[in-house]
């Protein structure tokens, strides 16, 4: 069975051009995103301690994202790039999070759907980065990352399927997918993941 959905809109060529034109800034933002992805998985553990079926996978995901953070930071340090001192508001995530419904079950499903679409977008964009890079070590690195984020995209859907019907999960995922595309298209293009 298909576990995720196609993204509603592909990233425009202007996005990868902006990233390649200022790769140091992109790395700084990328590191922050990995740290936040780890925090997101752990926030699910903290908010839903009764959902014991998915806690081991959430912990595993948080560890993988933290490992990504470590690996990005190592590559930054090798290049003399520091972490960002000022972390701008993440409008992409904020706007997605604003769409969560009230109600315990609805809120839970919406968080998992947001997790899935954000991971799927990350996979799409890291794939574009892999294709655009020339350095073979960095190419391999971004290939490892996009395959991992694609897996995370599926993982959040699988978690939702523990608790909700296929129909409910895919309908909501499709809805978030469409909103995600709209949000992304309205954000300015920067040398950043979103
Ligand atoms: Fe990651
Ligand atoms: Fe991920």
Q: Give the tens place of pLDDT for each residue, 148-183.
A: 999 999 999 999 999 999 999 999 999 999 999 999
100 Cβ neighbours under 8 A, 6+ residues apart: 106, 107, 110, 111, 114
Higher pLDDT, 86 or 22: 22
Supply the pLDDT for residue 6.
78
Find the 36 Cα to ligand 1 centroid distance in Å: 9
Find the 58 Cα to ligand 2 centroid distance in Å: 11
The helix/strand/coil state of 47 is helix
- Closest CA relative to residue 126, chosen from 41, 193, 37, 40: 193
Supply the pLDDT for residue 88.
83
| Residue 175: inside a domain | yes
| Residue 192: inside a domain | no
CB 110 within 8 A of CB 100: yes
Supply the pLDDT for residue 192.
97
Find the 114 Cα to ligand 1 centroid distance in Å: 15
Find the 174 Cα to ligand 1 centroid distance in Å: 22
In the predicted structure, residue 41 carries a pLDDT above the cut 80: yes
| Residue 7: inside a domain | no
| Residue 116: inside a domain | yes
Average pLDDT over residues 110-117: 98
Mean pLDDT over all residues of the chain?
A: 96
- Cα distances from 74 to residues 28, 70, 81, 92, in angstroms, run 12, 6, 10, 26
Tokens of 39: 């925090």
Structural domain containing residue 47? 13-186
Supply the pLDDT for residue 127.
97
Average pLDDT over residues 39-62: 98
Supply the pLDDT for residue 5.
59
- Number of independent structural domains in the chain: 1
Find the 62 Cα to ligand 1 centroid distance in Å: 9
| Residue 4: inside a domain | no
The ligand minimizing its distance to the Cα of 41 is 2
Average pLDDT over residues 88-109: 96
CB 19 within 8 A of CB 36: no
CATH classification of the domain holding 93: 1.20.1260.10
pTM over 0.85: yes
Tokens of 96: 């997605």
Supply the pLDDT for residue 4.
54
Find the 174 Cα to ligand 2 centroid distance in Å: 19
């Amino acid at each position: 069975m298909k576990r995720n959905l196609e993204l509603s809109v592909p990233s425009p060529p202007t996005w990868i051009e902006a990233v390649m034109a200022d790769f140091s800034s992109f790395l700084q933002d990328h590191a922050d995103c990995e740290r936040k992805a780890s925090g997101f998985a752990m926030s699910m553990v903290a908010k839903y301690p009764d959902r014991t079926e998915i806690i081991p996978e959430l912990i595993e995901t948080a560890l993988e994202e933290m490992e990504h953070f470590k690996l990005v930071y190592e590559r930054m340090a090798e290049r003399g790039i520091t972490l960002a001192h000022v972390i701008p508001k993440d409008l992409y995530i904020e706007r997605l999070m604003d769409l969560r419904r009230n109600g315990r079950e609805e809120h839970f499903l919406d968080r998992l759907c947001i997790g899935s679409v954000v991971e799927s977008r990350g996979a799409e964009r890291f794939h574009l980065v892999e294709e655009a890079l020339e350095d073979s070590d960095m190419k391999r690195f971004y290939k490892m990352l996009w395959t991992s984020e694609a897996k995370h995209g599926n993982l959040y859907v699988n978690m939702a399927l523990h608790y909700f019907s296929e129909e409910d999960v895919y309908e909501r995922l499709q809805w978030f997918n469409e909103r995600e595309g709209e949000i992304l298209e309205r954000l300015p293009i920067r040398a950043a993941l979103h």
